[in-house]
Amino acid sequence: MDKIKYSFHNNRRIDRLLNKMHLTFILKIKDKYKTSQNIKKNKKKAYRMLEIGPGLNRIKDFETLNIIDGRDVDYIHDLTKKLPFEDNSFDIIYASHVLEHVPWHLQKEIFNELHRILKAGGTLEIWVPDGWKIIKNVYDYEVNNIDNIHLDGWYRFNEEKDVIIWANGRIFTYGDGSGNIYHPNWHKTIYTPKFLYSLFDKTGFKHIEQMSNEEVRGYDHGWINLGIKGTK
């Protein structure tokens, strides 16, 4: 089995120790305290940008929110819960390959919350895996015997470069690689351009448009990327 490196893996030794000792209540207190202190520190900034689900390195000048703690995480919070910010807090909100980890039936609620904490005239930028590309490639393979997954070039747990294994990996991902169904790395929503656009539209965003890969701010996931932005 492949050895998998995760964001924050080397920055959570205390967290892992507390979990092993069944002292998760201390972990929750620590996370809540860190979050509240950073909210106080940052709330008076004139111009604020928030990245949800940051990678190993902070995007310059962005505040960060993540479900687990890490070196460059400001706010530890579950995205399925009400966000710990006042209305009209941020000028830009950015999330890349994060929202697919939220259950499909909660997506509209998430977009409503993002709309709430965004300032009037602010921009929401969302990147997710493009489900239409996955569906189309499976169709082309099954019906026309065409294999185009080399365009993606992603073969995690797929040494044979099998199209259907590739599709399963892209749709569901792999958790932590051990089969742990409770790991946060599983995908729980599949997006198409129309579906993602509709989430922006139904929750009150304006000037909605698809982005090009040149607009990626952090890590570029390449061919599989689907990006849409809108303003409040």
92 phi/psi in degrees, rounded to 5: -135, 135
- 8-state DSSP, 11: G
* Residue 153 burial (C-beta neighbours within 10 Å; 0-12, 13-18, 19+): exposed
Task: Give residue 97's region: left, alpha or beta (phi > 0; psi -120 to 50).
Answer: left
43 phi/psi in degrees, rounded to 5: -65, -20
Residue whose structure tokens are 């400001």? 74
Per-residue pLDDT of the chain (232 residues; tens, 9 = 90+): 344 444 444 456 666 666 666 666 777 888 899 999 999 999 999 999 999 999 788 999 999 999 988 889 999 999 999 999 999 999 999 999 999 999 999 999 999 999 999 999 999 999 999 999 999 999 999 999 999 999 999 999 999 999 999 999 999 999 989 898 988 899 999 999 999 999 999 999 999 999 999 999 999 999 999 999 999 9
Domains of the chain: 9-130+191-231 (3.40.50.150)
CA–CA separation, 197 and 80 (whole Å): 20
The pair of three-digit structure tokens given for residue 107, joined into one six-digit string: 């997506």
Pairing of strands 206-210, 225-231: antiparallel
Q: Within 13 Å and on the Cβ side, how many CA atoms surround 116?
A: 12
Whole-number pLDDT of residue 7: 46
Three-state DSSP state, 228: strand
Whole-number pLDDT of residue 27: 75
Task: Give residue 231's region: left, alpha or beta (phi > 0; psi -120 to 50).
Answer: beta
CA–CA separation, 83 and 73 (whole Å): 15
Q: Residues 42, 34: contact at Cβ < 8 Å?
A: no
> How many other C-beta atoms lie within 10 A of the C-beta of residue 183?
14
The pair of three-digit structure tokens given for residue 34, joined into one six-digit string: 């860190």
Three-state DSSP state, 113: helix
pTM of the model: 0.91
